[in-house]
A and B are shown apart, each in its own frame.
Chain A
Amino acid sequence: MNQPAVIEVRELTRKFGAFVAVDRVSFDVVEGEIFGYLGANGAGKSTTIRMLCGLLAPSEGSARVAGVDVGRDPERVKRSIGYMSQQFSLYPDLHVTENLEFFAGLYGLGGRVLHRRADELLELMGLAALRDARTSDLPGGYRQRLALACSILHQPRILFLDEPTAGVDPGARRDFWRLVRSLASRGTTVLVTTHYMDEAEYCDRVGLMVDGKLAALDTPEALKQQFIRDPMLEIHSVPHNLLAEIAGLPGVRTVEPFGSAWHVRVCFDASLQAVKDAVLAMGVPDSDIESVSPTLEDVFLEVVGRSRRA
Chain B
Amino acid sequence: MNTQLLIHAAGVSRSFGAVHAVREVSLKVHAGEVFGLVGPDGAGKTTLIRLLVGLLDPDAGQATIFGRPASSEADSVRSLVGYMPQQYSLYGDLTVDENLAFYGSMYCLSHRAFEERKAKLLRLTRLERFGSRRADALSGGMYKKLALACALLHRPRVLVLDEPTNGVDPVSRREFWDLIATFVAEGTGVLISTSYMDEASRCSTVALMHHGSILERGVPREMLRTFSGAVFRVIAADRDSVALALERQPGVVALAPDGAGLRLVVQAGAELAVRQAVGAVRARLEPVRPVFEDVFLARLGDAESARVQAA
Contact = CB atoms under 8 A, between A and B. Distances in A.
Interface stretch (A5-13, A94-102, A167-175): A167-175
Interface stretch (B92-100, B109-117, B152-160, B166-174): B166-174
B33 interface: no
Interface residues on B, range: 35 or more
Q: Which of B140, B171, B289, B296 has the most CB of A within 10 A?
A: B171
Given A171-B297, A256-B174, A260-B220, A195 B195 contact: no
Contact of A169 (B39, B141, B167, B221): B39
Contacts of B142: 41-42
Interface residues of A, number: 43
Interface stretch (A56-64, A118-126, A151-159, A197-205): A197-205
A304 B202 contact: no
B40 A260 contact: no
Interface string A252-281: 000011111000000000000000000000
Contacts of B302: none
Contacts of A308: 171
Contact of A170 (B167, B197, B259): B197
A86 B169 CA distance: 14
B169 A167 contact: no
Contact of B140 (A42, A221, A300): A42
Nearest to A39: B169
Nearest to B140: A41
A140 B42 contact: yes
A142 B264 CA distance: 25
A218 interface: no
A221 B139 CA distance: 29
Interface string A160-196: 0001001111111010000000000000000000011
Contact of A297 (B38, B41, B170, B221): B170
Contact of A237 (B140, B163, B171, B221): B221
Interface in B268-311: 289, 291-293, 296-297, 300
B15 to A, nearest CB: 14
A54 interface: no
Nearest to A16: B137
Nearest to B255: A174
Given A141-B41, A171-B297, A220-B259, A260 B221 contact: yes
B260 interface: yes
A308 B248 CA distance: 43
B254 interface: yes
Given A168-B195, A259-B202, A293-B259, A304 B169 contact: yes
Contacts of B38: 169
A242 interface: no
A290 B297 contact: no
A140 B41 contact: yes
A193 to B, nearest CB: 10
Interface in B192-210: 195-202
Nearest to B185: A240
B169 A40 contact: yes
Contacts of B297: 170-171, 174
Interface of A: 39-43, 86, 139-141, 163, 166-172, 174, 195-198, 201-202, 220-221, 224, 234, 236-237, 256-260, 290, 293, 297, 300-301, 304-305, 308
Interface of B: 38-42, 86, 138-142, 163, 166-174, 177, 195-202, 220-221, 224, 254, 256-260, 289, 291-293, 296-297, 300
25 contacts: A40-B141, A41-B172, A42-B138, A42-B141, A42-B142, A43-B169, A140-B41, A140-B42, A141-B41, A167-B163, A167-B195, A170-B297, A172-B41, A174-B256, A174-B297, A195-B167, A201-B256, A220-B259, A224-B259, A236-B221, A259-B197, A259-B199, A260-B292, A300-B170, A301-B174
Given A171-B296, A174-B297, 11 more contacts: A41-B141, A42-B141, A139-B41, A140-B41, A170-B297, A172-B41, A195-B167, A202-B257, A259-B199, A301-B171, A304-B170
